[in-house]
Amino acid sequence: GVKASENAAFDTAKVYFKAGHDVLGSTGWEGDYSTMLDLCSDGANACFLTGDFVSMNDLIDEVLSKDIDTKEKYRVSEIKVKSLLTVGKANEAINAALDFRRQLGLPAPQKKPASKFTIIREYIRVKKLLKDKTAENIANLPELDDERYEMGQRMNEHLATSVYLVEPTMYPLIIFQSVTTSLKHGLSPTSSPAFARLGLLLCGPFGKPHEGCEMAKAAELILEKPGMRSAASYTAFITQSYCYHWVSPLQNTMAPLLKGYQVGLEIGDTDRACYCLISRGYHLFYIGRGLDSIQNELEASIQVVTQLKQDIARLRIIILLTTAKKLRGIDVEAGDKILDSMLATAASNRDSFLSAAVNSMKLEVFVFYQEWKEAIELVRKAGNVRQFLTALFTSVRYTFLEALTYLKAAQSSSGWKKRQMKKCAHKAMQLIRGWAKNGNVNVVHCLYILEAELAVLQGKNEKTKQSFNAAIATSSRNGFL
């Protein structure tokens, strides 16, 4: 079974582990305790990776019911958290991960929104630990040799993914805790995504993209150390989806994301492999790949994630696939029903990320078809979408569409309403100007388009023409045409 797992033949491995479990039978725990623990733990993992959640849960419950050391329950506890996240039960995944950290005797934040004061306080503490460390300095830290801390780090890794979806204000606290552990106690495979996630925060909410990309570089250097490959797919997903697009052309993420997907499948990290696949699909959409080509690729991706039983990944791909088809005029009414149903599900489950993801795609359609009334209604009702799409290029794209929508509303309004719409557009444009000033080449053409529309509003025809021409030139230069 172990040999089959090492070769990613998890269906075969599952059969061997079950056979071994059946041979030892109900008395296996008394007669050969160590082997029974391995059969249950490895068997649960093989079941998880092949989508056999019923058998997986039986094996997990069997181990958790035993009066054994907490550390020996780690493997099945981790699989439990991963499986809950895979089927869209992020809140339950958070509870399970926090509970296990507490059982290990490690600190765990309370499951509640974190205040800005708390986030800034913890950030300052991490900054003091980092001092002036370069990416190379971080990658040369000693290795972590404490099993308990390593288990806690792995749980934080899953916690970060879970809270990002449903309680984003907790996200920085989990990241700061993981980075602090690495700086104080040493590096492990979890350190690479931990520093990548710190890069995410610096690039996005903290507005320091060059510092953020230095942390992304540290994450990649850590991967080069022996024994760190297990984090390769996850690190690629974070650095390419959340960090590098702030300072480099978006099209440069295509090859690394594809490689992250392939590596994830090779090492059995199927959920992170699917993350890379999703991110690549969205980036293809944003750089202007033909809609027919995108639809074909997404339909193939749907088959992959369905086979791998990756429910969340499938949902994210369906959002984009539905949008691509609507933009092509295919199954428009059915697409509307799908997206509206997702919004209803997001509201009932308090899934802010899903709601933001759907609204960002609905806005794409409204803008494409110049349905400005529907677009402005969505923008006013959707709230702070950027908060729930932290550092993703989707948040950048949404900000551009938001500003464009407000400018179009101002162009068709008068008096107080015109001034109000123009003010809202200016606020979004200021964000984009700040990103461009910090080196984001992917927003330069967007800014020119917005300046052209602002010139239309002001009646400056020559400025309008110049700005649109500049938008075309920069779009081509940066890979959007």
Between CA 30 and CA 21 the distance in angstroms is: 13
Average pLDDT over all residues of the chain: 94
% pLDDT > 90, the chain:
84
Query: Which of 11-25, 162-176, 430-444 is modeled with the greatest confidence?
Result: 430-444
pLDDT in tens, 210-253: 999 999 999 999 999 999 999 999 999 999 999 999 999 999 99
Q: pLDDT (tens digit, 9 = 90+) per residue, 41-62?
A: 999 999 998 889 999 999 999 9
Task: Give the pLDDT score at 290.
Answer: 95
Residue 130's pLDDT is 95
pLDDT at 8 over 80: no
Cα 11–chain centre separation: 28
- Tell me which DSSP letter residue 107 carries: -
Closest by CA to 301, choosing from 364, 356, 343, 258, is 258
Cα–Cα distances in angstroms (integers) from residue 172 to residues 86, 154, 258, 455, in the given order: 22, 16, 27, 40
pLDDT, residue 377, reads: 97
- In the structure, what pLDDT confidence band is assigned to residue 185 with cuts at 50, 70 and 90? very high
Q: What is the DSSP letter of 68?
A: -
- Residues 47 and 52: their CA atoms lie apart, in Å, by 5
Helix (H, G, I), strand (E, B) or coil at 67: coil
Q: How far apart are CA 214 and CA 201, in angstroms?
A: 12
At 187, give phi and psi (nearest 5°). Answer: -90, 150
Q: Which residue has the tokens 């509307």?
A: 336
Supply angle C-alpha 310, 98, 384, rounded to 5. Answer: 65
> pLDDT confidence of 271, banded at 50, 70, 90?
confident
Average pLDDT over residues 205-211: 95
Structure tokens belonging to residue 409:
């509303």
Helices (H), 104-251: 116-130, 135-139, 147-166, 171-185, 191-203, 209-223, 232-238
| pLDDT confidence of residue 55 | 94
Instruction: Give the separation between CA 243 and CA 138, rounded to whole angstroms.
Output: 18
What per-residue confidence (pLDDT) applies to 428?
97
pLDDT at 171 over 90: yes
Averaged pLDDT, 378-403: 94
**What's the CA gap between 343 and 365, in Å, rounded?**
16
Which of 143, 98, 83, 279 is CA-nearest to residue 200?
Answer: 279
CA distances from 114 to 111, 135, 163, 173 (A): 9, 29, 11, 8
Q: What is the pLDDT of residues 256-269, one digit of tens each?
A: 999 999 999 998 89
How long a stretch of residues is the chain? Answer: 481
227: left (phi over 0), alpha (psi -120 to 50) or beta: left
Q: What's the pLDDT score for residue 1?
A: 87
